[in-house]
Amino acid sequence: MTTEKIDGVSVTTHANVYFDGKCISHNLTLSDGTKLSVGVILPASLTFNTGAPEIMECVGGFCEYKLDGSSDWVRSSAGEKFSIPGNSKFEIRVTEPYHYICHFG
């Protein structure tokens, strides 16, 4: 099921802009302290580094991703999630805007 609405959040209004504007997100904090970011990746091939473990939830569009150490590209579409270990990296490629929620920790 695709997340369509997140209630009871604090939003950081200053956007996180990465890769010359190819990825833009906003930080959210839920009432229980859980941290998320909500954003969009425009058509590109990018490599992200992680500190804490992350779960990428697709809420619109699709992407293909490849985890560090893997040679396989995997497709993720709306309603699907994939996990990235902490202190790692992953490659992502999109051909249309990819809307996501990143769940940290």
What domains lie within the chain, and their CATH numbers?
Answer: 11-104 (2.60.120.10)
In the prediction, which pLDDT does 88 show? 97
Residues listed for the chain = 105
In the prediction, which pLDDT does 1 show? 78
- Return d(Cα 15, Cα 34) in angstroms, integer: 18
In the prediction, which pLDDT does 2 show? 84
Span 12-19, mean pLDDT?
96
* Ramachandran quadrant class, 90 (left: phi over 0; alpha: psi -120 to 50; beta: rest): beta
Give the gyration radius of the chain's Cα atoms.
13
Q: How many CA atoms lie within 13 A of 53 on its CB side?
A: 5
Condensed to tens digits (0 to 9), the pLDDT of residues 49-105 reads: 999 999 999 999 999 999 999 999 999 999 999 999 999 999 999 999 999 999 997
**Residue 45 forms beta bridges with which residues?**
93
Amino acid at 88: S
